[in-house]
């Protein structure tokens, strides 16, 4: 991953230096100006690599890096603070709660070194095995079953394969090891994977990042062509639904899976935003979200309107930005 980032940084800087060289020939820019530009470009390259490669124990737990603010995956939103600590899953703390019967969320705990190493869910639990700052194995269990997994990592630091063995109901015998390999299909601008496939199916992730205060300018208005957003709320009768939009494509969640989104149009004068809904498997158009974006308190945005599917049915949606 770092090699890739250095390569990208080098290409950007080469373009900047090439531009400076053309200016020198055309307008007589002196060597001191070129050296200053080179120094600034090198400082920007170092800062950008540092910002993108930032990590923490909690970010490592999820296999991500960079200043992640929010991650949408599996129909749930995971939130992190600016120091990389995991703070919420949807609107629930991941630590210290009492597990309710048929609870949708787990409770996590840390070891003495600050790594998340235990998970408790209503019918059982699990433990994570850390070595040299990353997870190398996972054991999960309930009253009638146990599963042990070991991880292998690829050259980019992502899990390349998992070897798994399972016990019978009594725990007296174990299955032969089975191996699951992951094929990574896409990555975002920070190098975090956004789609991978395995025999378990397709997994997708969508990220929001904290702005780099050294190089970014604050956004004082809704700019769907320049920033990424995750809106959460109701779509029809489904509560706690999420819709992510980006100029590079996004996703939204429904009860039975994930769909893709594609920005179609935004009318700045009226605040009307139109977003296409696409089937994830083949990008077939399923319908579109059309509504108005208004500003709420605390800088949040509300996206409210009607989703119309291609067959003519429609439902209302009411979503607020994370």
- Residues 6 or more apart from 177 whose CB is under 8 A from it? 163, 164, 165
Band (29; pLDDT cuts 50, 70, 90): low
User: Is 175 inside a domain boundary?
Assistant: yes
Statement to judge: residues 48 and 61 lie in one domain: no
> Mean pLDDT across the chain, nearest whole number?
84
Statement to judge: residues 91 and 184 lie in one domain: yes
Band (4; pLDDT cuts 50, 70, 90): very low
Specify whether the CB–CB gap between 284 and 278 falls below 8 A: yes
User: Is 270 inside a domain boundary?
Assistant: yes
Band (49; pLDDT cuts 50, 70, 90): confident
Q: Which two tokens stand for residue 60?
A: 């490592």
pLDDT in tens, 99-146: 988 888 999 999 999 999 999 998 889 999 999 999 999 999 887 788
- pLDDT, residue 26, reads 45
User: Is 185 inside a domain boundary?
Assistant: yes
Q: Could you say which of 157, 178, 209 is where a domain stops? A: 209
User: Is 215 inside a domain boundary?
Assistant: no
**What's the average model confidence in pLDDT over 238-262?**
89
Lowest mean pLDDT, pick from 3-7, 34-38, 79-83, 297-301: 3-7
Statement to judge: residues 15 and 125 lie in one domain: no
Domain count, the chain: 3
User: Is 7 inside a domain boundary?
Assistant: yes
Backbone phi, psi, residue 35, to 5°:
-65, -40
- Residues 6 or more apart from 155 whose CB is under 8 A from it? none
Statement to judge: residues 79 and 186 lie in one domain: yes
Nearest C-alpha neighbor of 243 from the set 315, 150, 144: 315
Strands 76-80 and 86-89: antiparallel
User: Is 220 inside a domain boundary?
Assistant: no
Enclosing domain of residue 178: 57-209
Statement to judge: residues 72 and 38 lie in one domain: no
- pLDDT, residue 12, reads 35
- pLDDT, residue 142, reads 80
| Cα dihedral 297→302→304→307 (10° resolution) | -160
- pLDDT, residue 24, reads 41
- pLDDT, residue 173, reads 73
Statement to judge: residues 247 and 285 lie in one domain: yes
Band (215; pLDDT cuts 50, 70, 90): low
């Amino acid at each position: 991953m770092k090699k890739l980032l250095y390569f990208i940084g080098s290409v950007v800087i080469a373009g900047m230096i090439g531009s400076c060289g053309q200016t020198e020939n055309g307008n007589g820019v002196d060597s001191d100006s070129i050296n200053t530009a080179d120094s600034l470009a090198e400082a920007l390259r170092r800062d950008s690599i540092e910002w993108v490669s930032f990590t923490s124990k909690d970010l490592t737990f999820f296999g991500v890096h960079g200043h992640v603010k929010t991650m949408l995956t599996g129909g749930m939103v995971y939130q992190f603070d600016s120091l990389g600590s995991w703070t919420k899953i949807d609107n629930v703390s991941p630590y210290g709660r009492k597990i309710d019967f048929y609870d949708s969320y787990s409770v996590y705990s840390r070891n003495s070194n600050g790594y998340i190493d235990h998970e408790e869910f209503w019918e059982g639990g699990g433990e994570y095995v850390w070595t040299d700052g990353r997870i190398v194995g996972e054991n999960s269990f309930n009253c009638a079953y146990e599963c042990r997994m070991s991880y292998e990592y690829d050259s980019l630091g992502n899990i390349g394969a998992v070897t798994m063995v399972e016990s019978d109901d009594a725990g007296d015998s174990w299955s032969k090891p089975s191996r699951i390999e992951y094929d990574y299909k896409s990555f975002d601008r920070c190098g975090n994977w956004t789609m991978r496939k395995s025999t378990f199916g397709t997994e997708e992730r969508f990220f929001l990042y904290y702005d780099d205060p050294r190089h970014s300018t604050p956004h004082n208005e809704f700019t769907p062509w320049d920033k990424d957003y995750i809106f959460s709320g109701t779509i029809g009768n489904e509560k706690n639904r999420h819709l992510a939009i980006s100029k590079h494509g996004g996703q939204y969640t429904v009860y039975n899976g994930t769909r893709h989104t594609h920005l179609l149009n935004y009318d700045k004068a009226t605040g009307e935003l139109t977003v296409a809904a696409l089937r994830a498997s083949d990008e077939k158009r399923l319908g579109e979200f059309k509504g108005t974006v208004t500003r709420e308190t605390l800088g949040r945005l509300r996206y409210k309107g009607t989703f119309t599917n291609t067959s003519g049915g429609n439902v209302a949606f009411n979503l607020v930005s994370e």
